[in-house]
Amino acid sequence: MKVYIVGTGMDGAQTLTREAENAINEAGLLIGAERVLRPFSGLGKETHIAYIARDIADKLGSADCGAAAVLMSGDCGFFSGARKLLPLLEGHDVRIVAGVSSAAYFCGKVGLSYEKMKFVTLHGRASNIAVNVRMNERCFFLLGGEMSAADVCARLCEFGMGGVTVHIGSDLGYENERIMVGKASELVDCEAGGLSVMITENRDAPGFVPSAISDDSFRRETVPMTKAEVRCAAVSRLNICADSVVWDVGCGTGSVSVEAAYRCPDGKVLAFDKKPEAAALTAENARLFGCDNIEAVTGECPEILADAQAPDKVFIGGSSGNMEGIFEAVCSKNPRADVVVTAVSLETLHEAADCFERRGISPYIAQIAVTRTRKIGSHTMLDALNPVFIVSGRLA
């Protein structure tokens, strides 16, 4: 059977393309969510309300017609259900008909270009908001699920970005379409429909991935911290991807967590420390640096790791004598994880190397000796920090 997957634009009428109109006219069966089908109820065609991929595929499998059209709001290639549906339509003659996306429509409404915009969907997700806004001059958010426009504004305020400009659009293309513009701090109580979009403008976005952030930029108290130069080298050895799940074991102040979080804005950093004050300080620094993709957890390792999400990358800055147990926990979750250990003592160096070698891995080992300068009167003196070993490798 010929199956059209059709993007109907915003309201299924004013923004419907001619190609989409032809596909709908040819189809004997129309499938989609109730609100998407509504504009075509007068065509006299068989309709079936469904929006879950498996339900749509099952209906198409039992349909008796020459052609069917699955209708999707906006553009079927932009944050749509087409990605899950396509693998289920083997045996059908599938053709995709692109529509007008909510991003293109809304950017036109508010007069903003989108070629350098970061696109984020919050359907079913409640994190990765502040970190993306912090790192990008413009972000487009497709809202839904747990997060409303007001919730996003509140999150930005919580993570120090209440001054960011936000554009909110709800019920786009319909008679009750509404567009609001203001600072995040001004719109924390806004009421926008469930089907909403948002664009953020952060003119203070760095334009680069921060690395070797100054030690003095972090709130420290008496909790240990991996110093900037060592932190930069250690995090680079992890080769963190945009969607990586990173473990920071023995997180201390959370300085490694923050630099890792900037490298995985679509992922997550799980920061573990046995000291409640350290986990609390990591959470505080996460808010200070706008990293809402950091989750700080208090507990003893390796026990606390048993229920954690499987990591892609693991940094071990403190093991409290439980190095082997931590390695075992990592291997049980992901035997191909990349692991980096920093050691300031020869005993920890030996223990870390042994953990790799027992698993048949010859680790990369480097020793960093950092010397900074400081002014004393009219002279510039050298100020040496403790040497640190960096031990790294992929477990399999």
Q: What is the pLDDT of residue 123?
A: 64
Domains of the chain, first to last? 2-100 (3.40.1010.10), 103-201 (3.30.950.10), 215-394 (3.40.50.150)
- Find residue 264's DSSP bridge partners: none
Express each pLDDT in 246-266 by its tens digit. Answer: 999 999 999 999 999 999 999
> What average pLDDT does the segment 142-166 reach?
92
Spatial strand order in the sheet of 138-142: 118-121, 138-142, 196-201, 165-170, 178-183
- To the nearest whole percent, how much of the chain has pLDDT over 70? 98
**What are the CA-CA distances from residue 392 to residues 17, 228, 290 (Å)?**
54, 18, 28
Express each pLDDT in 315-334 by its tens digit. Answer: 999 998 999 999 999 999 99
Question: What is the rounded CA–CA span in Å between residue 319 and residue 347?
Answer: 12
Work out the mean pLDDT of the chain and round it to a whole number.
94
Express each pLDDT in 330-349 by its tens digit. Answer: 999 999 999 999 999 999 99
Express each pLDDT in 88-139 by its tens digit. Answer: 999 999 999 999 999 999 999 999 999 999 999 876 566 799 999 999 999 9
Express each pLDDT in 16-68 by its tens digit. Answer: 999 999 999 999 999 999 989 999 999 999 999 999 999 999 999 999 899 99
How does strand 2-7 pair with strand 67-72? parallel
Residue with tokens 């035997």: 335
Q: What is the pLDDT of residue 300?
A: 93
Express each pLDDT in 157-210 by its tens digit. Answer: 999 999 999 999 998 888 889 999 999 999 999 988 767 899 999 999 999 999
Whether the full predicted model's pTM is greater than 0.85, yes or no, is yes
Q: What is the pLDDT of residue 87?
A: 95
